[in-house]
Structure 1
Amino acid sequence: MPSSGGSGVYRLSEMTWPEVEAAIEETQTMLLAVGNTEQHGHHLPLGVDVFMPDGIAERVAERTGCLLAPPVWYGVSPHHTFKPGTFTVESETFQHYVRDVCASAGDWGVENVLLLNGHYLAQDPELEIVVRELKNDHGMEAFHVPLVSVFRDAAERVRTSAVAFHAAEFETACMLELEPDTVHMDRAEAVDPSVDLPPLLGYDAYADNRVGTAFTPEEMAALTDAGNVGDPTAATSEAGRELVDDAVENVSMLVEALDGS
């Protein structure tokens, strides 16, 4: 439930409009977790890309008192449709939807929006466009916050596997910290990339990718039968705590600066 005094979670879906009206007097910053519902191997649930940013956003809201919007569960994921359970929407549909959600919040007082992206890398381009439109067309301060960027320092400290691409060490570790009951470590298996990439590209989340590209469902199916790419068996809850804490610390720093705390 929403807390009083500006020190608790302002989860908008649980608030009444008078509570929102009062909260806007204290904060004009809103967090929106943006992910997708898609396959994450044998060991992780379909909702990973939302569970992670929403769980991190909740901890940021607890710490800073900012507003927390209901998450966006559907994103751009045509490359994962080779496995059942994956949803995807057109790029333009996604952009317009996220933009309109944020712009509507601007109508009742939100000035700053942070889009916490759990489906990082895949839908970074769309969210960069949304940020630009919110700033230029709606006068809002908007930020794209890919989790892979805000927990990078911790990832470099704790990682033990060579490739963390999809449903591998980092995502599994975060889920062990945030939603441990949904993780089936007994089903996890390491999957090394079986297809070489052209020059200037790499599979790892922190690879020195100097050009951009995209994967088709057929390419992903050839790359992994299990659905993940990398080694989720390397993940630990201790590493997940470091990743989550790093993300919370960094995002909170931005929120506090925006709200003048």
Structure 2
Amino acid sequence: MTSDSTPEADEDGAPETTRVAEMTWREIETALERTTTLLVPVGSTEQHGTHMPLGVDVFMPEAIGELIAERSPALLAPPIWYGVSPHHTFKPGTFTVSTETFQRYVFDVCASAADWGIENVLLLNGHYLAQDPELEVVVRELRTERDVEAFHVPLVNLFGDVAEEIRTGDVSFHASEFETSIMLDLFPELVDMDAAEAVEPPEESLALTDYDALGDNEVGWALTAADMAELTPAGNIGDPTVATEEKGEALVEAAVAGVCELVDELESGE
């Protein structure tokens, strides 16, 4: 790295960047005098319909993590790109790993950060709903085995109230109104709205289940690749055509504000 690309420091000598991957170990040492909180974007690389790229579930939490780190004391870890996505393998480009591999990998990443001084870990989950169970287990193990203040942070939980207020589509389950709106706000150049198409799920679902991210899902359930292939030829479930940048901005702000509050309390010791 040349001197022109080295992160500049503020008046106190702290590097301006919060991205761990862009810092030297000495800059990490300095940063740890200010914060012991690490944001870890966790996602997947999987199909997101005909209008969005496969990296949506990582692009979202990483960008939101950067916004959080700009407002609150926290470092931003490199993202975890591969998740538990067997149900999306009916389209090319999707990667998936086993539950056991995923849990062990995420645990080891966070445990290694604890070795160099991190006390609080927030797993910003962009592949929410699908891999919530795995990350809940990782959080428990980090707390019990490594004494780390770990939290699972599914994005949909953070913006759920706002999403309920501003939604115009009846269903947004995958790659539809919510995710497309967030991407229009954060990465509009990666969204092709001309290629977006609505895909309605079955009118009725099983009792205690619902094909909606904000639906009445009272029991745990999962879709297989065969299920998804039957449900959606395009890859999304719901209507991405009603997504807007303005909706995305509201969803992102809700997520950022919520996590900032948690980080600030963690850092203050309250």
* TM tier, smaller: over 0.9
Residues 224-239 of structure 1: pairs in structure 2 closer than 5 A? 224-239=232-247
2:91: which partner in 1?
83
The whole-number CA distance in structure 2 between the counterparts of 1:187 and 1:19 is 44
1:245: which partner in 2?
253
Moved more, 75-84 or 2-11: 2-11
For residue 138 of structure 2, the aligned residue among 119, 123, 130 is 130
Shift of 1:140: 0.4
For residue 102 of structure 2, the aligned residue among 94, 97, 107 is 94
1:56: which partner in 2?
64
For residue 115 of structure 1, the aligned residue among 95, 112, 123 is 123
Shift of 1:157: 1.8
Give the CA RMSD over aligned residues.
1.4
Contact between 2:37 and 2:73, CA under 8 Å: does it hold in 1?
no
The whole-number CA distance in structure 1 between the counterparts of 2:78 and 2:93 is 21
The whole-number CA distance in structure 2 between the counterparts of 1:8 and 1:164 is 37
Contact between 2:164 and 2:214, CA under 8 Å: does it hold in 1?
no
TM-score normalised over the length of structure 1: 0.97
Contact between 2:73 and 2:264, CA under 8 Å: does it hold in 1?
no
Shift of 1:236: 0.3
1:158: which partner in 2?
166
1:176-219 deviations in whole A, cap 9, x for unaligned?
Answer: 01111000000000000037421111011011111111111000
The secondary structure found in structure 1 opposite 2:173 is strand
Pick closer, same or farther for the CA change 1:131–1:240 going to 2, 3 Å. same
The whole-number CA distance in structure 1 between the counterparts of 2:34 and 2:198 is 47
**Residue 41 in 1 paired to residue 87 in 2?**
no
In the TM superposition, structure 1's runs of 4+ consecutive aligned residues that sit over 2 Å from their partners are 1-9, 194-197
**Residue 172 in 1 paired to residue 198 in 2?**
no
1:24: which partner in 2?
32
1:205: which partner in 2?
213
1:94-127 deviations in whole A, cap 9, x for unaligned?
Answer: 0000000000000000000000000000000000
Pick closer, same or farther for the CA change 1:198–1:102 going to 2, 3 Å. same
1:41-92 deviations in whole A, cap 9, x for unaligned?
Answer: 0001000000000010000001113100000000000000000010000000
The whole-number CA distance in structure 2 between the counterparts of 1:151 and 1:252 is 13
Structure 2 unaligned spans of 5+: 1-6
Aligned residues: 261
The secondary structure found in structure 2 opposite 1:151 is helix
The whole-number CA distance in structure 1 between the counterparts of 2:247 and 2:139 is 31
Contact between 2:17 and 2:23, CA under 8 Å: does it hold in 1?
no
TM-score normalised over the length of structure 2: 0.94
Shift of 1:2: 6.7
Pick closer, same or farther for the CA change 1:55–1:146 going to 2, 3 Å. same
2:262: which partner in 1?
254
Shift of 1:152: 1.2
The secondary structure found in structure 2 opposite 1:38 is coil
- Percent same amino acid among aligned pairs? 62
Q: Which amino acid is 2:72 matched to? A: T
The whole-number CA distance in structure 1 between the counterparts of 2:255 and 2:18 is 19
Contact between 1:2 and 1:14, CA under 8 Å: does it hold in 2?
no
The whole-number CA distance in structure 2 between the counterparts of 1:91 and 1:2 is 40
Contact between 1:34 and 1:72, CA under 8 Å: does it hold in 2?
yes
Structure 1 unaligned spans of 5+: none
The whole-number CA distance in structure 2 between the counterparts of 1:44 and 1:38 is 10
The whole-number CA distance in structure 1 between the counterparts of 2:220 and 2:249 is 31
Contact between 1:190 and 1:229, CA under 8 Å: does it hold in 2?
yes
The whole-number CA distance in structure 2 between the counterparts of 1:126 and 1:103 is 16
